[in-house]
Each structure stands twice: as structure tokens, then as C-alpha cells.
Chain A
Amino acid sequence: MTDQPNYDGEFDAIVVGAGLAGSAAALTMARRDLDVLMIERGAAPGTKNVFGGVMYTPTIRELADIEDAPTERYIAEKRYSVLSREGDETAVTMRPEAWNEEPHNDSFTVLRRNFDEWFADQSVEAGATLITETTVTDLLRDGSQIVGVETDRPDGAIEAPIVVLAEGANSLVSEGADLKSKADREDVAVAVKEVRKFDRETIEERFRLDGDAGAAYHYFGDGAVPDVVGGGYIYPNKRTISIGVAYRIEDAATRDRSPEDVLDEFKSHPAVAPLVRGGRMVEYSAHAIPEGGADAVPDLVHDGAVIVGDAAGMVLNNGVHLEGTNMAVESGYQAGEAVADALETGRTSASALSQYRQNMEESFVIQNLEHYDFFHELIAEDREFLFDRLPRALAEAQQEYFRMDKTPKAEHASRAKSRVLDAAGGWVGAAKRAWKYRRMLS
């Protein structure tokens, strides 16, 4: 790769990053007969990418043969659990039988090294060119118009009419070119994860799984991640288990525990330890998650460039829904279509590309971000109740409600109710909270 071929004028579009959003954009544009160059900084697509574990596939299914994709397990069960620091667990488990049937609610655990390479291959098969081990360092400009990229290869400038910025959470190029501002540390999470290897039987017994069925276990409360706003998760794969925690960088900076210590504590909670015990750690990884919501989404279109995926802040975390993969692929697809439409008219200005922004605003991606925009501020304000008092009150209420003694059950129920009410601040506090969180259910 020391002799860089002269690519100037060879390509209609350059895609920065061969992750989910980048490959979706490249695939879409290649199918529209554009000459596309994907530039990936890793040795292969996926080698720099980390996520929790669930790939949501409604858009990928329309772009590629998902049967062919290297998925691990489909999500047959979702489990939400609150853990107290004292060791209590309160959990809800859902296993609708329909999730066992195709298309499995378009939810699969995957490992990104394999999955992202497969997805990038779809673009290459559709005619896109992929170069790896090459980092885009800056954008080329002609006045206000973006006309290509600078890379870290000798004579590494490459011109093209359109640049798709799919560079991920750590969006150095977009920020360096003033296309977006750097997020506040309250709006970005640090995530650390372990992949542990087990034999398949152990995993299936521990998580009550048959065949390719899998599960998504989500954990909240001070027993999962102490004194911070965030959560933990466990995703069983075929022969590995993904275990991780994610919480605000603001909290990581101001608490005395390091992220790997928080992960170790999560793994040692009595409700978690038996699920992840043993095996062998085959990978430790870390990544940033943009969680700024709708407000943090930058201008998506610029003269000669569009921003997609994590670089555009397209991640949803409302406590119940933890999504990003579906949003990345949808944004890449919408951007690819908008670029192809603009180039058909021979135009590359921001206004020519504005169809991308409009389609995103009308899509589930921006609509969901806007709908749940209240959530982050709210849980940060209400942290002590949600993460500390509530998990303990729920455990105390359960003890009262199911207490085996000679007191009549009406008395048990009354005591259980007052435990929860006390934690919520009485009837008035409970009513206020019900009102504040009403949008979670609407």
C-alpha cells in the first residue's frame, strides 16, 4: 500500500469508515451505479468496532441477504433487571413465542469483527472499492465546498464530489472540519466489555436457550453501576458471552472507580456472578457511545458531505430501548439514496443533499430521538431515586408482600405498598413521578 494509486476523479463518493452506516451508504450508492471508495482505518472492517451486542436488522434485511450474515443468536428473551448494592434483584423477563419465529423481531446478537466485514463485503460485491489501514485525517475544500479527503498515506489526498462521513463516535474529521462540535462529556458514555468463551452447552443451560435462541439481559441500579448514570448488560452468543457496562464520561471522571473496576463489580453482583462465572476472557474492549439525543445531532448535510451513524449521534438509549445499529444502517441507506439523487442532477451542495435530512427527520431515527429526548436529563436528575432508593424499596416490598408469618395478607400488602410509596415520596411524589415518566409509555 505504499504506492497510492491516483484516485482523483475516479470516484463519485468517498465513504469515511466501513462500519454499519458507512457500508450501508456504500452499498446503496454502488447499487445506484455510483463509483464508491470506502476508506477504513482498521486492518479489516470491524477491527476497530465495538458495541454491546444486539444488531437490529429491519433495514439491513432490505439491503442484503440476512440469512447469509454471521449472526450469533436471535433474541428470544428480553430481561430487565434492577440491582441494589445490597445484592437484591428485581427482574422482568419476556419470552413471546413469536420471537422464536422468523424474522425473530429483527434482533440478533452478533460480533462486530465478523459482521461488519460481511456487511462491507456486500458493498464490494456491489462494486464499491474498499481500502483499509488508511486513516482519513482531514477534508479537502474548494471554498466552502468539500471536494475530497486527506489521508495518512503518501500523496494521500483523494478528490470526489461527495464525502460520506461514517467515522463513528469519535468523529475527529467532522469536528476538525467544523461540521459538528465536540459533545459535552455528559452526553457521551464510556463503555467497557468483556467477551468470555464457554462451551455452547454451558451457555444454553445458564440462559435457558435452545438452538440459536439468545437473550438480552439489561441491568440498572446501583448494584449494576454504582453512583453513576448507566447500566450493565449480558448477551449470550453462540460460544461466548458479552458482558459490559456503560455510563456517562462525566460520571467516570468524577467517581473514584475506573471503568474496569465498575465492570468487575457488576460481574461480582450475586445476581450476575453465576451467569458469567468461569470461562475464559478472550477479549476486553472499550468504546464511546454518543447519547446526547436529538439535540446533539449535528447538521446532517453540508456542501459536498453528509454525516451518518454514530458520527451523527444516532443512538437511542431510553433505558428500555438501547438502539443504534438500526439507526446507523437507516441513516447510511437514506444518505446513499440522497447522494445518488443529487448526483443524477449534477449537484452536490447542501441544499441538493437536503433530502437526506428530510427523510431522516421523517424516519423513526429522529422521531424516536425527539420523543425520548427528555429521558437523559430526567434520569440524571432522579438518579438517587432510580438507582438507589427504588431498587432497595422494591426488594423490601417483595419481602413484605410474600412474608411467611401469621399476619393476614392484607397487612403484608399494605406494608409492601408503603415501602414503595415512601421511596417515591408518598402519594404526591409518586404522582409527580408517574407524570414525569408518562412519556415512557406513550
Chain B
Amino acid sequence: MSATDDTTAETPPIEDRLYTVKYSDSGDSHLGVTIPGICAERCVTQDCESVCPADVWQVEDDGVPTIAYENCLECGSCRWACPHGNVEWEYPETGNGVSYKFG
């Protein structure tokens, strides 16, 4: 069980939302940034962070995001959102990643 288990709440925190999803970790991130310098120097909108429904992307002080890939729901929104085409996106390998029970 998660620390709070707020799945009965109307507005659960994102951790409790993600807790409902089965995730198998390959140990390697299937997400990345192609050129960190673009995030640091050219990006002012942080669209990866804005569109992500799973709090995967967290832009740090230097402008480069950290990536909590194990939160990823594999929707791909960040891939389309980044106006610099700077999101590296692959499917998690050999069946890893999210596994929906309902869908």
C-alpha cells in the first residue's frame, strides 16, 4: 500500500494515481533528452513538464529536466509537445513499463 492510499479521494495526489498502475522496471530509462544544451539554453516553456500527466519531467534550476521514467504511462505526449524535438522516446523494452488491468 502507498503511504496515504487516497484512492477513495476525489482528487488524489499523483503518487496515489500512479500507485494504481502496475509497472515493471527494466532498469533503463526509455526516455531522455537528445541535447541537454537545448533545454538549458533555448527552452523557456518547459512543455514536457506541462503536458505530462504522470509527473515524469521535472525541470531543474539549470533548465535541464530530470526524468522519473518509472512514472511514465507511455502516452507519448511529451514527444509531440517539445517544440525543439528534443525528447528521446522509445518503448520500454521486452514488455516492461506500464501494464493496464482495465484500460
Instruction: List residues of chain B with CB within 8 A of the CB of A111.
Output: 102-103
With contacts A253-B45, A253-B47, A268-B11 taken as known, whether A135 is within 8 angstroms of B94 at the C-beta atoms is yes
Q: Which of B10, B54, B73 lies at the interface centre, i.e. has the most chain A CB atoms within 10 A of its CB?
A: B10
B40 to chain A, nearest CB (A): 19
B95 x A283 contact (CB < 8 A)? no
The tally of CB-CB contacts under 8 A between chains A and B is 158
CB distance from B47 to the nearest CB of A (A): 4
Residue interface bits A276-310, CB-to-B below 8 A is 1, else 0: 11111111111110000000000000000000000
Interface of B is mostly: loop
The main secondary structure of chain A at its interface with chain B is mixed
**B45 with A283: CB separation less than 8 A:** no
Q: In chain B, what residue has the closest Cβ to A152?
A: B93
When C-beta atoms are compared, the residue in chain A nearest to B52 turns out to be A258
Taking a contact as CB atoms under 8 Å apart, the answer to whether B95 and A277 are in contact is: no
The residues in B between 1 and 45 inclusive whose CB is less than 8 angstroms from any CB of A are 7-8, 10-12, 14, 16-18, 20-21, 24, 45
**A285 touching B103 in the complex, CB below 8 Å, given contacts A253-B50, A258-B53, A259-B53:** yes
- Give the shortest distance, in Å, between A286 (CB) and chain B (any CB): 4
How many chain A residues touch B (CB < 8 A): the figure is 62
Instruction: State the interface size on chain B (CB cutoff 8 A).
Output: 43
Chain A neighbourhood of B73, CB < 8 A: 284-287
- In the complex, the chain B residue whose C-beta lies closest to that of A278 is B8
Complex interface: chain B residues within 8 A of A184 (CB): 80
Which of B12, B50, B94, B98 sits near A252, CB closer than 8 Å?
B50
Q: Would you call A113 and B102 a contact (CB within 8 A)? A: yes
Within 8 A of B (CB), among A168-214: 169-170, 172, 182-185, 188, 190-192, 194-195
**Residue on A with the closest CB to B89?**
A172
Q: Which residues of B contact A233 (CB under 8 A)?
A: none
Residue of A nearest to B6 (CB): A281
Query: In the complex, what's the smallest C-beta–C-beta distance from B18 to chain A, in angstroms?
Result: 7
Whether B18 pairs with A170 at a CB distance below 8 angstroms is no
Say whether A259 contacts B95, CB under 8 Å. Answer: no
The answer to whether B11 and A185 have CB atoms under 8 Å apart is no
Spot the interface stretch: A47-55, A375-383, A393-401. A47-55
User: CB distance B80 to A182 under 8 Å?
Assistant: yes
Q: Given A253-B47, A267-B11, A280-B8, A288–B75 Cβ distance below 8 Å?
A: yes
A249 to chain B, nearest CB (A): 5
The interface bits of chain A over 124-136 (1 if a CB of B lies within 8 angstroms of the residue's CB, else 0) are 0000000011110
Given A185-B81, A190-B51, A284-B21: A116 touches B8 (CB 8 Å cut-off): no
Q: Which of A43, A50, A281 has the most chain B CB atoms inside 10 A of its CB?
A: A281
Q: Which residues of A contact B21 (CB under 8 A)?
A: 283-285
Contacts A42-B95, A47-B99, A288-B77 known; A281 to B8 CB distance under 8 Å? yes
Of the A-B pairs whose beta carbons lie under 8 Å apart in the complex, a sample of 9, sorted by A's number, is A48-B97, A134-B94, A170-B76, A240-B102, A253-B50, A282-B102, A283-B21, A285-B73, A288-B77
Chain A residues engaging chain B, CB cutoff 8 angstroms: 1, 41-43, 46-51, 111-113, 116, 132-135, 137, 152-153, 169-170, 172, 182-185, 188, 190-192, 194-195, 240, 242, 249, 252-256, 258-260, 264, 267-268, 273, 276-288
Given contacts A195-B102, A253-B50, 8 further A-B contacts (CB under 8 A): A1-B94, A46-B100, A47-B99, A112-B103, A191-B75, A268-B10, A278-B8, A284-B73
Q: 3 tightest A-B contacts by CB?
A: A133-B95, A112-B103, A284-B17
Which B positions have Cβ atoms within 8 angstroms of A? 7-8, 10-12, 14, 16-18, 20-21, 24, 45, 47, 50-55, 73-77, 79-81, 83, 89-95, 97-103
